[in-house]
Structure 1
Amino acid sequence: MGFSEARFEETEGREMKEKPYSNKMSLKYISMAKAEKLKSLILARIRVARLNLWVTRALSMLLLLGITMQLKSLGETVSSSRTPTSTFSYPLPPERVYENNGYLMVSSNGGLNQMRSGICDMVTVARFLNVTLIVPELDNTSFWNDDSQFADIFDVEYFIASLRDEVRILKELPPQQKGKVAESLFSMPPISWSNMTYYYNVILPRIQTTEVVHFQKTDARLANNGLPVEVQKLRCRVNYEALRFAPPIQALAEKIVRILRDKGPFLVLHLRYEMDMIAFSGCNEGCNEQEIDELTKMRYAYPWWKEKVIDSAQKRLAGLCPLTPEEIALTLQALGIDHNIQVYIAAGDIYGGERRLATLRAAYPNLVKKETLLPSSELDPFRNHSNQMAALDYYVAVQSETFVPTNGGNMAKVVEGHRRYLGFKKTILLNRKAVVDLVDLYKAGSISWDKFSSEMKKAHADRIGNPAERLVIPGKPKEEDYFYTNPEECLASFDKPQLSNDDHQ
């Protein structure tokens, strides 16, 4: 074998020996490529896992926030001692969930019906400001000196539950807010006859700043007109549906109505001829000298009764005095009211007692009051609480076939509106100026009975609570029709409305 052949064999042998090494290198490269691919895959999976973890954490935070809000609401509910929904025998509306802007506390002022209207306004304000309302405090310091609280007069459980789809109402502040209020409480009287812009721009920022705001007064704090329809409708819903009387009052009031209806139709006469009303008004028609002196002393005894020197005769001729029992007797007869109808007097003690009621009783012998229809023992729990006694009369007045107020006070106005809401039930709105003029002419012998009766009917032909447009006087809310007297936005539709001529005379 020559050199070439030997070289060849050497070379071939070397190549044969090197082939295993080359295969190892290829496998190494392949392994490295697979490792890189696997590494990329693992990194991608790690990134997806991290993203999933972030999303999970975000969702968990949102869930925890929701649970926290629910627990906070539950805590408020428990701390306010609200009755469990399972205890109600009637279906409850679904609870409205909203971000709470704070808490509104209110102290109602005035008599029963003044407070009632104010409560309706405060519920409405709370709802549209998205705040929590604390059950209103009632006036215990006014002339009537009644220490009744909300639950003594109204069904507080129903009040809270029936409005839960509109606003959250608690019986008391939650513990945390109680602590803050104990240190400092921002109190103020909201401006009278305000629109919702005032509450949005002035009151809401204050609540958001201090968390709790206390209103010292509630009467006439919302305008009669110029408010959104949904605001007006909520005022009606609170007044005519949510404000039920407390069960003891409701049960006794229903009993009075049953007693009356068992004997036939009845008329409720809101005879505002109590001593305080006569003293305050300065009207003394039919009073003797001793009574006039007594009334004058009472008027001067109360410094917040600003008008002291009053010309009774002039005021009466202007139609600004409460009608007397004698004037009412003639008026009801002239209007053709049935002599045999039951006349329920919704009032306190009539000044002058039976002496002043004699003419009215002679004309309408079926003259009754709650005190004559019920045993004394049934009235005893309410007797020293003027607002609870007034609540009994309110219910009977709303249920009567005919309602006749003799003076344009708060009860007369609110009952009139309630009766409109129930289908324009008959309410005779006496024109006091016309009544006085006609009574004086008849008593002087200047006109016959037939003429007297004819003119009286003519003067009241359009004053029986018929559908009418609410009188609007821009810039003079006290002179225009009160919203709760004619809640037009909440009433059944009617044709060709007339402008209200209720001048409260």
Structure 2
Amino acid sequence: MGLKKMAFGGERLEKLRNNEVVSRSRMKLWMIRATTTVLLWTCLVQLMALSETWGPRVLKGWPSCFSHESVVALAVWSSPHLPVRVHPPKRVYKNNGYLMVSCNGGLNQMRAAICDMVAIARYLNVTLIVPELDKTSFWNDPSEFQDIFDVDHFITSLRDEVRILKDLPPRVKKRVELGIIYTMPPVSWSDISYYHNQILPLIQKYKVVHLNRTDARLANNGQPLEIQRLRCRVNFSALRFTTQIEELGRKVIKMLKRNGPFLVLHLRYEMDMLAFSGCTQGCNTEEVEELTRMRYAYPWWKEKIIDSDSKRKDGLCPLTPEETALTLKALDVDRNIQIYIAAGEIYGGKRRLSTLVASYPNLVRKETLLDPSELRFFQNHSSQMAALDYLVSLESDIFVPTYDGNMAKVVEGHRRYLGYKKTILLDRRLLVDLIDHYNSGSLTWHEFSAAVKDAHAERMGNPTKRLVMPDRPKEEDYFYANPWECLQPSDEDEQPVIISI
């Protein structure tokens, strides 16, 4: 019995030893397979990365189930709530250096500048660093690019045209920290050849060039068609606002549309505009003194002594709230229409708005439509507040700017791109003359209204070519107000067809 037990125990021990050996062998095999798989994946990812940058062309032509597009499709398939985002292929070119830019001005002045700088970077075959926004202007807005625009969309949507980075590569950044960089403001309204002949050699020499003023630096006219089309593509497609701004904008638009048609009035009667322009029509003595002090406080506002009356008669002042009310009534704008004021705080407050409110009681602003908690994040961020107004302006049934500033011009051009949506472009010089005649009694209401309608019959954002003035670029029509190279009316009497970009 004892021998049998020992034999049985020995067999059992032998089996246990065999099982342990098999388990170890299986474990080793599993580890070898796992390690091999990880190595293969690592090699494949590295190979794809190398092929994106400098690999042979034949490699790029191979179909791959691990391409970026396939990964996106797989992610969408596994998570149907994610949007489909297929990015264009990267453009391959020899990089000539790096372009850094610092934008100046308000939101729409900077917006147009960004479009110009992308086109310039593309033409020069340089890498563009995400633009720096102005933080020293009157508004003192601390917002960065990514606080206003969807920076990842901006970079990826343009990757077939230009390489854009959020920051300089470490090696190049070290050069900049050592002061090896060339900083300059480019010449205003320059032809694209200026950048090729003057700026590109500097980039090739210093590797990095910093343009510190970028507004109105590329000419309106005479540029290659592909440059004009790219400016449009950046403006209408790549420069998308952040999700937070877009969602709040959609909420305001939905609230307005729920109550019927609405008109957006860009009432540019704000303190900074009045101080800058020197226009004091309707202001009391204390207000005139306050605006004058402000004008002298900013050294870059070069014009100090201004004759408000003569400037108004030349059509160089924004319309006052009182003049605006008369103009809208003369154009037979329905008294009960919703009017959304796209502007900052109106100078003079309720006192100056009283005439407009009496004529159009359905006057609203984002501050009256939204709960204060919804706007708390945007407080003291004027560019983000302006972005909300921009979105609402695009969707309005009618857009009426009372001054031809940057927002008025850029919104006008964007509405043309969206199908020539109704934009009433006021002839301020004629209007103030007609208003003065009406107020003095030399024109009846019927005569005044008929004259206003007749003067603006062809000023509703209709298809038209820009006015070109080669020797006076500041006085010619602005590219972003009417980018006709990106638009193509099918017929003068039909809805225009928009060229895809």
Q: Sort the TM-score into its range (normalised by shorter chain).
A: 0.7 to 0.9
1:419–1:68: structure 2 CA closer, same or farther, 3 Å change rule?
A: closer
Q: What is the Cα deviation at residue 323 of structure 1?
A: 0.4
User: Which residue in the other structure is 2:462 paired with?
Assistant: 466
User: Which residue in the other structure is 1:448 paired with?
Assistant: 444
User: Which residue in the other structure is 1:34 paired with?
Assistant: none
Which residue of 97, 104, 109 maps to 2:104? Answer: 109
User: Which residue in the other structure is 1:487 paired with?
Assistant: 483
Contact 1:329–1:359, Cα closer than 8 Å, also in 2: yes
> CA offsets per residue over residues 9-50 of structure 1, 9 Å max, x none?
xxxxxxxxxxxxxxxxxxxxxxxxxxxxxxxxxxxxxxxxxx
> CA offsets per residue over residues 37-84 of structure 1, 9 Å max, x none?
xxxxxxxxxxxxxxxxxxxxxxxxxx9x9769449xxxxxxxxxxxx9
Q: What is the Cα deviation at residue 299 of structure 1?
A: 1.6
Residue 94 of structure 2 aligns to a residue in which SS?
A: coil
Deviates more, 1:351-360 or 1:290-299: 290-299
Check if 1:403 corresponds to 2:417: no
Tell me how far apart the structure 1 counterparts of residues 212 and 285 of structure 2 sit (CA, whole Å): 41
User: Which residue in the other structure is 2:165 paired with?
Assistant: 170
User: Which residue in the other structure is 2:355 paired with?
Assistant: 359
Q: What is the Cα deviation at residue 173 of structure 1?
A: 0.8
What is the letter of the counterpart of residue 114 of structure 1? Answer: Q
User: Which residue in the other structure is 1:281 paired with?
Assistant: 277
Check if 1:146 corresponds to 2:145: no
Contact 1:240–1:418, Cα closer than 8 Å, also in 2: yes
Contact 1:280–1:305, Cα closer than 8 Å, also in 2: yes
Contact 1:335–1:457, Cα closer than 8 Å, also in 2: yes
Deviates more, 1:271-280 or 1:324-333: 271-280
Tell me how far apart the structure 2 counterparts of residues 279 and 453 of structure 1 sit (CA, whole Å): 31
RMSD: 2.0
Tell me how far apart the structure 1 counterparts of residues 313 and 216 of structure 2 sit (CA, whole Å): 29
What is the letter of the counterpart of residue 331 of structure 1? Answer: T
What is the letter of the counterpart of residue 274 of structure 2? Answer: I
Check if 1:190 corresponds to 2:190: no
Structure 1 unaligned spans of 5+ = 1-62, 72-83, 498-505
> CA offsets per residue over residues 153-177 of structure 1, 9 Å max, x none?
0000100111111111111111111
Tell me how far apart the structure 2 counterparts of residues 490 and 390 of structure 1 sit (CA, whole Å): 25
1:367–1:199: structure 2 CA closer, same or farther, 3 Å change rule?
A: same
Residue 105 of structure 1 aligns to a residue in which SS?
A: strand
Check if 1:477 corresponds to 2:476: no
Q: What is the Cα deviation at residue 152 of structure 1?
A: 0.3
1:68–1:443: structure 2 CA closer, same or farther, 3 Å change rule?
A: closer
Contact 1:423–1:492, Cα closer than 8 Å, also in 2: no
Tell me how far apart the structure 2 counterparts of residues 389 and 123 of structure 1 sit (CA, whole Å): 25
With normalisation by structure 2, the TM-score equals 0.82
Tell me how far apart the structure 2 counterparts of residues 384 and 128 of structure 1 sit (CA, whole Å): 37
Q: What is the Cα deviation at residue 229 of structure 1?
A: 0.4
User: Which residue in the other structure is 2:115 paired with?
Assistant: 120
Tell me how far apart the structure 1 counterparts of residues 155 and 314 of structure 2 sit (CA, whole Å): 45
Contact 2:102–2:212, Cα closer than 8 Å, also in 1: yes
Deviates more, 1:159-168 or 1:281-290: 281-290
Which residue of 85, 89, 92 maps to 1:94? Answer: 89
Contact 1:467–1:494, Cα closer than 8 Å, also in 2: no
What is the letter of the counterpart of residue 334 of structure 1? Answer: A
1:85–1:109: structure 2 CA closer, same or farther, 3 Å change rule?
A: farther
User: Which residue in the other structure is 2:10 paired with?
Assistant: none
Tell me how far apart the structure 2 counterparts of residues 463 and 136 of structure 1 sit (CA, whole Å): 35
> CA offsets per residue over residues 349-374 of structure 1, 9 Å max, x none?
10111111111011111000000000
Contact 2:181–2:207, Cα closer than 8 Å, also in 1: no
Q: What is the Cα deviation at residue 487 of structure 1?
A: 0.4
Q: What is the Cα deviation at residue 316 of structure 1?
A: 1.2
Q: What is the Cα deviation at residue 494 of structure 1?
A: 4.9
Check if 1:331 corresponds to 2:319: no
Q: What is the Cα deviation at residue 267 of structure 1?
A: 0.4
1:443–1:102: structure 2 CA closer, same or farther, 3 Å change rule?
A: same
What is the letter of the counterpart of residue 306 of structure 1? Answer: K
Contact 2:148–2:242, Cα closer than 8 Å, also in 1: yes
Which residue of 124, 133, 137 maps to 1:129? Answer: 124
What is the letter of the counterpart of residue 232 of structure 1? Answer: Q
User: Which residue in the other structure is 2:34 paired with?
Assistant: none
What is the letter of the counterpart of residue 358 of structure 1? Answer: S
| The structure with more radius of gyration | 1
Contact 1:154–1:246, Cα closer than 8 Å, also in 2: yes
Structure 2 unaligned spans of 5+ = 1-46, 56-69, 76-82, 494-501
Tell me how far apart the structure 2 counterparts of residues 473 and 403 of structure 1 sit (CA, whole Å): 27
Contact 2:335–2:359, Cα closer than 8 Å, also in 1: yes
Q: What is the Cα deviation at residue 312 of structure 1?
A: 1.3
